[in-house]
């Protein structure tokens, strides 16, 4: 996960969810898991917007298991990739905050 995303999640979401008292190793595990979920959401959203030929090409790129090539492909097909990522982060954060407020009875 990119360090910028990890820092953003760690600094903001941990505080907003009131989880600052968690041990550092638990925070790190939580941040890694959240990053994985956001990455899955981004990929699902992008795939839903791809043409069939782009989906086929994307499968081939993924099969090569080269993160750099995958990112290059996505950026070439989705010039607004960073915006999509930011939107998915914001959406995840809002959903997490809403769920935590529900759990805490607020």
| Ordered alpha helix ranges (H), the chain | 3-8, 14-16, 24-49, 52-63, 67-77, 81-104
Rounded mean pLDDT, 83-94: 86
CB 103 within 8 A of CB 26: no
CB 8 within 8 A of CB 86: no
Query: What's the burial of 68, exposed, middle or buried (CB within 10 Å: 0-12/13-18/19+)?
Result: exposed
Q: pLDDT tens for residues 28-82?
A: 888 889 889 988 999 899 999 999 999 999 999 999 998 889 989 999 999 999 8
pLDDT greater than 70 at residue 16: yes
0.85 exceeded by pTM: no
User: 45, 49, 47: which is closest to 37 by C-alpha?
Assistant: 45
**What's the pLDDT score for residue 1?**
46
**What's the pLDDT score for residue 77?**
93
């Amino acid at each position: 996960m990119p360090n910028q995303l990890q820092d953003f999640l760690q600094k903001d979401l941990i505080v907003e969810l009131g989880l600052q008292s968690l041990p550092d190793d638990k925070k790190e595990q939580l941040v890694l898991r959240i990053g994985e979920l956001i990455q899955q959401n981004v990929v699902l959203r992008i795939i839903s917007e791809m043409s069939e030929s782009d989906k086929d090409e994307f499968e081939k790129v993924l099969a090569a298991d080269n993160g750099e090539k995958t990112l290059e492909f996505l950026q070439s097909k989705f010039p607004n990739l960073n915006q999509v990522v930011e939107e998915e982060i914001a959406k995840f954060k809002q959903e997490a905050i809403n769920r935590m407020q529900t759990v805490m009875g607020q």
